[in-house]
Structure 1
Amino acid sequence: MSEAGGNRNLDWGTAREAAYDAARPLPYQTVTLADALGQTLAEPVSPLQPIPHYASSAMDGWAVSGPPPWTLVSPEVHEDHPWRRPAPHSDSGTVALEPGQATFILTGGVVPGNTDGVLRTEHGQIRGDLLDRNEAARPDEPVPGEHIRPAGEEAEKDIEAIPAGVVLNPAQIALAAVCGHDTLAVLRAPRVSLLMTGDEVIEAGLPHAGQVRDTFGPQLPAFVAMLGGHVDVAGRAKDDLDDVVAAISAEATDGFSLARASGDVLITTGGTGSSSADHIRRALTVLDAEMVIDGIAMRPGHPTLLAKLPDGRFLVGLPGNPLAAMMAMLTVVGPLLAGLRGAPLEVPQQVLCGEQFEPLEGRSRLVPFHWSEGRAMPSGHQRSGMLRGLASADGVLVVPAEGCTVDQPVPAVRLPWVR
């Protein structure tokens, strides 16, 4: 296993940055507008022509030129028109009014050339082939440009209408359609595979002594999705070095391994320690992986690993204890997936700690908290194998190794399921 210098027992902030910096944005993909909802835009969207691309009427009524009364003309002569005189056309072939002329127009209709304004239907009266204002109209109606939506009023061609990096919502997809686009370039969600270890783990029912329930299978796919990835496949390996190596290796012959080998990130659970029953580090040595993070100076979650496999995939080794693993997800997997997606590394917010913490030499403490009167109050049940504290938490405090006092600002990590 190849190692980069200084990758052991990294402090919490350095570990986050190392995970983020190790990734390079994945190539983008092109999707139809119908498939773009919730996707991250890879390139800015600009109008392919002005919006609107022609001057249009904002009202049903008459496009008029010059002072009243106006002679009614029609772009085309129809039997059901009360007037038969066609409007003249400009050199470009579009209808153009002469002074003293008017033509009926619907909302959204193309405004003829030389139009001064639009007289709305409620404010006009017709006598024969003449149009005039009625008693409801203002004496100066319509003023120049009234009830006309100019071409390019909303956006000129080639301006940036939607910036890159946004998560597309329905309004933005509609705007992209108005801009003339049929497809959009979006960032591909990193493909993630899960490999669970632990012969003592059961997936259903009540565990006997020496057994534990699987806490990873039911929640990790959704957790990964909240962090911007997509789980393609999940499987389990025996607590055996050869079996773990075969499950990780791209050269393994079983379908699960082959499917996983084509992904971007492999997340393993358990087996990241140094005992004889822990095989992830040994497997990485056998496979000559490059170690990016070999342990993090935090509690819980110290034995977290990040490595790059020879085939280009990343491997994140989560500790086997459930709270420790979820802290590793926030510390390593979140930044890694952000880097692969081309998204910025989220900056922790500063919160006022509601309790005093004594120093813990050499390690940060990650502590679930809930809000109380503007302070971040540590939740109970904080040990690495416990989940009750996190299940009811609003976020996670990152208490520095030197500890902190009440009302001291400390970093806090947002939980992706808390809004």
Structure 2
Amino acid sequence: MHDIRAIRDTPDAFDAALARRGVAPISGEILTLDEARRGRIHAAETAQAEQNRASKEVGAAKAKGDEAEFERLRALVADKKAEVATMQAEAKALDTQLNDLLMGIPNLPHADTPDGADEADNVEMHRWGTPRVFDFTPKEHYELTGVVPGMDFELAAKLSGSRFVVLKGAVARIHRALAQFMLDTHVDENGLSETWTPVLVRPEMMLGTGQLPKFGEDSYETTNGWWLVPTAEVTLTNTANGETLDEASLPRRMVAHTQCFRSEAGSAGRDTAGMLRQHQFEKVEMVSLTHPDHSRAELDRMTRCAEGVLEKLGLAYRTVVLCTGDMGFGAQRTHDIEVWLPGQDTYREISSVSVCGDFQARRMNARFKPAAGGKPEFLHTLNGSGLAVGRCLIAVLENGQNADGSVRLPDVLHGYLGGKTMLQADGTLA
């Protein structure tokens, strides 16, 4: 959500910032609606004042016995009352139009976000680790002999349809261990507060973080109007919805492990094999609520939190900053972390960390009270995967694979697996 006052003050700068995202100039349309809305509000206030004056004069005319003046003033009061109602209704309709227009406009990019049209223009920040060199042709995760018994796509298709999976036995346990390891790392080492939240939310919560109204087709709505969360960003960020926090409580850093649900609208035919792109999956999500002066530095901190998980697992990755044309709707700047998948012989996204400035906070009316006094200000929000559990499972399986289809597991997981170090070719842990 954008600040209408800022658009009034600097419409050219607003259009120039949106042009970096490929959005045509729109400030003229916004300001025309805004001017009409304010005109109706002013007209309603003027008519209301005239109605109030006439109402006071009605009694005086009645007391004087001036029947003609009494009737004139009574008619005037009725006319003004109708005029006020009309002006207020028109102002409300214009306000709705303006709000709907502003709700559909993406966030303005941060000054240090690179310009570009699509993912080809993303800029690599750095790499960590060296992709493993195999003395055999590495397979994709779902092809590994030791994985096949524990990753059942046919059963999932019978239960739910395509793009679902049933994890069993050792594979399910490794998946669970990864989520537990991530949570422990973020809580014990990164100072995040573990939070457990619902996966069903009201539509206004989806509106607050920007999934609605524009991207409803990407998520699932229940028959009673609830929405299944696409990520815990929705619930964690909305903990501040309608709240005014004390500045001393910032930053508020949270982490949650949840089921996530996405319709994957528009992605037909992409990554249909294996469990890379699913309708239901798990993520360990990080969210920070910060003072505006500290949000850019918090983005770098959160990125390091996510990168650290991969480093502990010994998984090679690269981090890129998304260009303006590839960035999400609500983001000012986004860092994507891509893990090396030898089965595909490429890096694939496993985490996306974004700073949103006050874009979401305005939609949620989430503020903080400055310690030095003064009016409450909108806080800044950030979100990022820490990490996507299923994709991390894929990376662990593919990078640790052996020629016989068994998998050597990362050292940091051994304690979560009862001391087991290997997924054997028969699908059991040893």
TM over 0.5: no
Shorter-normalised TM-score: what interval?
under 0.3
Greater per-residue strand proportion: 1
Q: Which of structures 1 and 2 has the bigger CA Rg?
A: 1
Greater per-residue helix proportion: 2
TM-score (norm 1): 0.25
TM-score (norm 2): 0.25
